[in-house]
Amino acid sequence: MAEDKIVQDTPATPVEGPRKPKGFSQRFKTFESLQFRDFRFMWAGTFAASAGQWLQQVTLSWLIFDLTGSAVQLGAVNGVRLVPFLFAGPIGGAAADRFDRRMLLIVSHLFLAVTGLIFAVDIAAGTLEVWHIYAFTLVGGLGFTFGNPVRQSLIPQLVPPNYLMNAIALGSAAFNVSRAVGPAIAGLLIATVGTASNFFIQAVLYVVVVAMLAQIRLTEQGDDGGTASGVSLFGKLVEGVRYATGERLVLLLLALTLVPSLLLIPYTAMVPVFAEDVFDVGPTGLGYLYSAAGAGALVGTLIVASLGNIQWKGHLLVVSALAWGASVALWALTPWFLGSLLGIFMVGVAQMIYLTTNNTIIMTIVPNEFRGRVMSLWMLDFGLVPIGTVAAGFLTEWIGAPKGLAIMAVIGFVFMAVMFVSYPLLRRIR
């Protein structure tokens, strides 16, 4: 069983990916995975892709709230962005275990580039309507969600198992560097040259991603070497679900992403409310808040990367989960803007330590032929975020954003504490 393997710290799969380059002199353990050529190209592409995503997320949030002034609409748009996790993610995971993962990523980013360009033209032409925002959010979410499990399942093919935790953390760090810088730039661009420019830039960034992915030389694909097998995508999905539900530890780790998706992650959708109504700092302040969260997330991923292949992953999982819930509640109730910047920074730290650790454990214990599908199930929980964002929107309209988010965070803290007390296996993970 998977729980026996992880507790004993025994690799669940044979050594995969390239060997350590001869003559490599390691000075900084934090960046040790960058010694592998193909991972460097993927890492660079992740920078560009995440920059495009953050430009999109901040600008869409600002557009919908500026046009409607409704926290419910704000929550709904952010929820629609994550709806594709419920169906596009599992399809992407099944495809990742059947076809060439690199080519799947290239196609999905070309799709995102085209949709971003069309939306930019729509805004620049002055023909934008509210329903266009929902349509673009949904279509863009399809491409992004399809590619996510593909990207995650590709990482173990680019580095050896002992470097997996570091590589996953660095991949998250690349995302969060853009998260730290992108929102501030997005806010400045909105305030100076308008919203259309952000989507033109996004389209260019996705073309850069395609150029980086084209440089990767893969010798191994999914369970069938990248060629289509006789099993349909639906059959692949069924196999993946059967595997995940049959492995107790995998099932518990997947369940542990459920509560944050419903109760903690929705805080990101309400940040414009804090910028506009609570602190009155406008689009520039909105960018600062998102950037502070991104900077915290970057610090969190670098902490995990620096820890390397640690032996006490279970303890790290417990501490970071509880810290995430507590920090969201404290941030929501902070009445000063500077305090809010510090609070959302701490939220980012705890959130990324938790998610990166959870992700690494799953990727370590799941065999290569199931990784795409299991990672799509891991991301499937994020498809429940729309329920949380809509609930956060209604709570904001009812009792205000600070109290509403604090209540949700406290409930999330209690649920995760109960999970860790009820299942000691989670605390024993190495």
Which range is least confidently modeled, 110-114, 154-158, 199-203? 154-158
The sign one gets for the Cα dihedral 173, 379, 71, 328 is negative
**Of residues 225, 260, 304, the one with CA closest to residue 29:** 304
169 neighbors 304 (Cβ within 8 angstroms): yes
Q: What is the pLDDT of residue 383?
A: 65
**d(C-alpha 244, C-alpha 380), whole Å:** 13
DSSP state letters, 203-226: HHHHHHHHHHHTT---S--STTTT
More confident residue, 41 or 314: 41
CA distances from 27 to 31, 32, 167, 306, 419 (A): 9, 8, 16, 12, 39
Residue reference for tokens 């006789």? 230
Distance, CA of 184 to CA of 291 (rounded, Å): 6
154 or 344, greater pLDDT: 344
User: What's the rounded mean pLDDT across residues 74-88?
Assistant: 74
Letter for the amino acid at 51?
Answer: A
Band the pLDDT of 180: cuts 50, 70, 90: low
Can you read off the two tokens belonging to residue 371? Answer: 């990784």
The two tokens of residue 8 are 């004993």
Q: What is the pLDDT of residues 260-269, one digit of tens each?
A: 888 888 888 8
Lowest mean pLDDT among 36-40, 126-130, 189-193, 229-233: 229-233
pLDDT score at 329: 93
**354 within some domain:** yes
pLDDT of residue 328: 93
User: Amino acid letter at 246?
Assistant: G
Residue 23 lies in a domain: no
Give me the chain's average pLDDT, please.
Answer: 79
Read off the CATH number of the domain in which 251 is found.
1.20.1250.20
Question: Per mean pLDDT, which range of 175-179, 212-216, 391-395 is the poorest?
Answer: 175-179
Query: What percentage of the chain has pLDDT greater than the value 70?
Result: 85
Q: Which residue type is seen at 426?
A: L
The per-residue pLDDT for 19 is 56
Q: Is residue 30 part of a domain?
A: no
Sign of CA dihedral 301, 303, 309, 312: negative
pLDDT of residue 259: 81
Count of domains observed in the chain: 1
Q: How confident is the model over 16-38, as pLDDT tens digits? A: 455 555 544 445 577 888 888 89
Predicted TM-score of the model (pTM)? 0.68
Higher-confidence position of 200 and 313: 200
Quickly state the pLDDT bin for 232 (edges 50, 70, 90): low
Mean predicted confidence (pLDDT) in 162-174 = 80
Q: In whole angstroms, what is the distance from residue 227 CA to residue 229 CA?
A: 6
Q: Which of 180-189, 298-307, 379-388, 410-419 is predicted most confidently?
A: 410-419
Domain housing 66: 2-10+36-218+231-427
* Angle between helical axes of 71-82 and 37-68 (0-180°, round to 10): 150
Query: Does the residue 19 lie in any domain?
Result: no
Could you tell me the pLDDT band of residue 278, with boundaries at 50, 70 and 90? confident
The pLDDT of residue 210: 93
**Does 400 fall in a domain?**
yes
pLDDT category, 227, cuts 50, 70, 90? Answer: very low
Tens of pLDDT, residues 333-363? 988 999 999 999 999 999 988 888 888 888 7
* Per-residue H/E/C for 29-81: HHHHHHHCHHHHHHHHHHHHHHHHHHHHHHHHHHHHHHHHCCHHHHHHHHHHH
Question: Residue 16 falls within a domain, yes or no?
Answer: no
Q: 255 CB contacts (<8 Å, ≥6 apart)?
A: 419
Residue 411 lies in a domain: yes
In a domain, 25, yes or no: no
pLDDT band at 331 (very low <50, low <70, confident <90, very high): very high
Using pLDDT thresholds of 50, 70 and 90, give the confidence band for residue 309.
low
